[in-house]
């Protein structure tokens, strides 16, 4: 018994085991909220990153579909509905009003060999508010954007 007390004192341990156990609980109580918040922030970041990548993928798929099926005004509603259906499959709920199709003239090539193509721009806007489970404002300071926009340009031949 006497030997163990001497060893603990030489190693810097003082007090009883109960006191040491109590200090470990206090240290855990101080560190646990920080660790929990960091873990939740990492999960939230992963959810937002997944939504942004899915939005970019959706925009590419819609622009490819529009390039294949045409861009006349009668087809616009079909393309927008395709965007809504594909977005639902990717876990992105959008409305047809969040999809914008626009065409423009684009010149591609070097100075000797220029060609003029029609360019199709597909823009998809998505509100991320339902994906957030952590607060986005703190003391009226906004930390993140809640709306993301992705635009893809496809050249039509």
pLDDT digits (tens, 9 = 90+) for 52-96: 999 999 999 998 888 887 766 667 888 889 999 999 988 888 888
Residues 6+ apart with CB under 8 A from 142: 136
Q: Give the angle 31-32-34 at the CA atoms, nearest 5°.
A: 70
In a domain, 25, yes or no: yes
- Could you tell me the residue range of the domain that residue 67 belongs to? 15-156
The count of C-alpha atoms lying within 13 angstroms of the C-alpha of 1, restricted to the half-sphere facing its C-beta, is: 1
118, pLDDT greater than 60 = yes
In a domain, 36, yes or no: yes
In a domain, 6, yes or no: no
In a domain, 9, yes or no: no
Residue 136, helix vs strand vs coil: coil
For the chain, what is the domain count?
1
What is the crossing angle of helices 17-69 and 73-90, to 10°?
160
Question: pTM for this structure?
Answer: 0.71
In a domain, 1, yes or no: no
């Amino acid at each position: 018994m006497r030997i163990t007390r001497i060893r603990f004192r030489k190693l810097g341990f003082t007090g009883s085991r109960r006191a040491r156990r109590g200090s470990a609980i206090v240290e855990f109580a101080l560190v646990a909220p920080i660790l929990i918040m960091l873990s939740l922030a990492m999960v939230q970041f992963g959810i937002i990153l997944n939504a942004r990548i899915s939005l970019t993928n959706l925009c590419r798929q819609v622009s490819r579909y529009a390039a294949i099926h045409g861009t006349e005004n009668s087809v616009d509603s079909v393309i927008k509905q395709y965007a809504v259906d594909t977005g639902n499959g990717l876990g992105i709920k959008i409305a047809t009003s969040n999809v914008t199709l626009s065409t423009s003239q684009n010149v591609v090539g070097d100075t000797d060999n220029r060609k003029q193509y029609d360019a199709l721009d597909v823009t998809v806007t998505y509100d991320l508010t339902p994906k957030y489970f952590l607060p986005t404002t703190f003391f009226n300071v906004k930390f993140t954007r809640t709306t993301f926009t992705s635009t893809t340009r496809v050249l039509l031949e």
